[in-house]
Chain A
Amino acid sequence: MTIVMGIETSCDETGVGFVQDGVLLGDALASSMDEHARFGGVVPEIAARAHVQSMLPTVRKAVADAGITLADVGAVAVTAGPGLATALHVGVAAAKAFALSLGVPLYGVHHLAGHAAADTLEHGPLPDRSIALIVSGGHTSLLFVRDLVRTPIVHLSDTLDDAAGEAFDKVARLIGLPYPGGPSIDKAARAGDPTAVKFPRPLMGPNDPALGFSFSGLKTAVARYVEKHPDLDVNDTAASFQEAVADTLVTKALRACRRQDVSTLVVVGGVAANSRVRSLAQERCDAAGIELRVPPMRLCTDNGAMIAAIGDLLVRDGARPSPPTLGAIPTIELSSAQLDALSA
């Protein structure tokens, strides 16, 4: 019934989407990625300035894509956290202004819950129990998900240091490949031998946290290798590094599936676009009899549609709206999909 507007500004993407009863009506995205390229990573102040410039054009594009008018909107959902504080403030301010002006309820939501909800727009509702691996430049998290909005989401593990996507960026820089590192390493790796260099598999020892991730040690191993081999083969190095990351991610994700006794793995986030992560996950899921769900790329990376999706679930569940004093919550563990000032 209700058309839910979703707004996402937690990092460098300005995303706006419209969802109604689990169906994506339309969305639009703007990115400031190019402006960060020469800094080798996202600069919060640059991202925030770009969000201000992109907000209205993105809203207008999404409205046109959905074939609606803003007057049709019945609720507004926004990423309240976690993310870059300067960037989050822009989306939260816009969402609150839309909600106030349109006279509709406001829902502050958790960014990671949005990622987990993204796949429902493509493949329908999630089963009763599933594991979500959220892997991007900002996060590397394993979640145990039951009902996305009714049951607390169990945050099984996180990276202890760098996010997987961050490791791709840093390693790309080390071996002279362009930013962002994910696509450029993926491309170089296709021409390389993944067994050429034996890079360590981080946190895979018997005494390490079974579901934990860590990528800074792997990055250091690549740095040491680069130092020792000035005339290294870029493609082989890229392929071997990528294999180490994919192996670690998929091993831990399947371990989580076994531990929680679930038969569905959802992989989302920018790194889900990596061809080796996808193929290795498919291979091992097939072997283990686990259904692998990966939404299409445009729903994998940060976007407004996924925030509208979680908002839509909250609205249909009759959730209490967030207070008008909702603010940005830059650091917050995921326990429930909805975030507001009261839970901060």
Chain B
Amino acid sequence: MLVLAFDTSSAAVTADLVDVSTGDTAGTTVLGHEQWLGPHGHSEQLTPTIAACLDHAGHAPRDLDAIVVGAGPGPFTGLRVGLVTAAAMAEALGIPAYDVCSLDGLAPATGTVLVATDARRKEVYWATYADGRRLTGPEVSYPVDVDAGAATAMTGAGARLYADVLALPLLEGEHPSPAALVTVALDRLRSGAPSDALTPLYLRRPDAMVPKAMVR
């Protein structure tokens, strides 16, 4: 089955087209990959990136069987653009859409690892993994408050940024891989599960103040 996967939780907009075997042999083949880099512009660049990814692989949206999207955590506008794009495409094409924690797309397949991305405000979004499976998280906290558990290495932009505080050997890895998100969603994809609710993993409440005049 043909699966479009994309992630907008980092400074990159990344889309992968993945062929998922539906037979007994578990397997995924990446047919197309497209990435756009920039701190802003996710809303401008996501659909062109998806279109280019499909086009370069010789496919059109109507060929798709499912969509997998990174749900964050990450900058809110990017997450919203990603999830609402997944929802609208799935609705228009009559196919299911599944969300996966974006940090999963940075976790290596082997080893016990801390994944940390930059949450700004001197905080990190983080989760821990054993052989690609999430053990704890996702959470947002100051680097000094991260509980890396048994992790023996770390990866992600937040890990690099606060390497001195987190103090674990740093592995490569900057932006979540959409193809990796597909492997996390394999069960849902293969069983044809109904679409997820597609809610961003904000992990933070909206900044909003009740005006003084209304507090009394």
Contact = CB atoms under 8 A, between A and B. Distances in A.
Interface of A: 38-41, 43, 45-46, 48-49, 51-53, 55-56, 59-60, 70, 85-86, 89-90, 92-103, 173-174, 324-328, 341
Nearest to B60: A103
A157 to B, nearest CB: 29
A327 to B, nearest CB: 4
Interface residues of B, number: 38
8 nearest A-B residue pairs (beta carbon)? A97-B88, A101-B92, A45-B206, A327-B44, A96-B47, A93-B81, A97-B85, A43-B208
Nearest to A101: B92
A55 B88 contact: yes
A97 B50 CA distance: 10
Given A39-B211, A97-B47, A52 B92 contact: no
A59 B88 CA distance: 9
A98 B206 contact: no
B213 A174 contact: yes
B21 interface: no
24 contacts: A39-B214, A40-B210, A45-B206, A45-B207, A49-B202, A55-B88, A56-B87, A70-B91, A86-B76, A89-B80, A89-B81, A93-B46, A93-B80, A94-B84, A94-B87, A94-B88, A95-B88, A97-B86, A98-B89, A98-B92, A100-B51, A101-B88, A324-B47, A324-B48
Contact of B44 (A56, A100, A341): A341
Interface string B24-54: 0000000000000000010111111011000
A76 to B, nearest CB: 10
Contact of A56 (B41, B91, B214): B91
B61 A103 contact: yes
Given A40-B214, A173-B213, A101 B81 contact: no
Nearest to A70: B92
A100 B50 contact: yes
B13 to A, nearest CB: 11
B152 interface: no
A109 B115 CA distance: 41
A103 B92 CA distance: 10
Q: Which of B45, B92, B202, B210 has the most CB of A within 10 A?
A: B92
A5 B89 CA distance: 15
Contacts of A38: 210, 214
Contact of A93 (B43, B200, B202, B210): B43
B136 interface: no
Nearest to B82: A93
Contacts of A328: 43
A92 B43 contact: yes
B22 interface: no
A52 B85 contact: no
B91 A327 contact: no
Contacts of A101: 61-62, 88-89, 92-93
A162 to B, nearest CB: 14
Interface string B83-101: 1111111011100000000
Nearest to A40: B211
Q: Which of B46, B85, B88, B210 has the most CB of A within 10 A?
A: B88
Nearest to A96: B47
B108 to A, nearest CB: 31
Contacts of A89: 43, 77, 80-81
A90 B210 contact: no
Given A56-B87, A70-B91, A327 B43 contact: yes
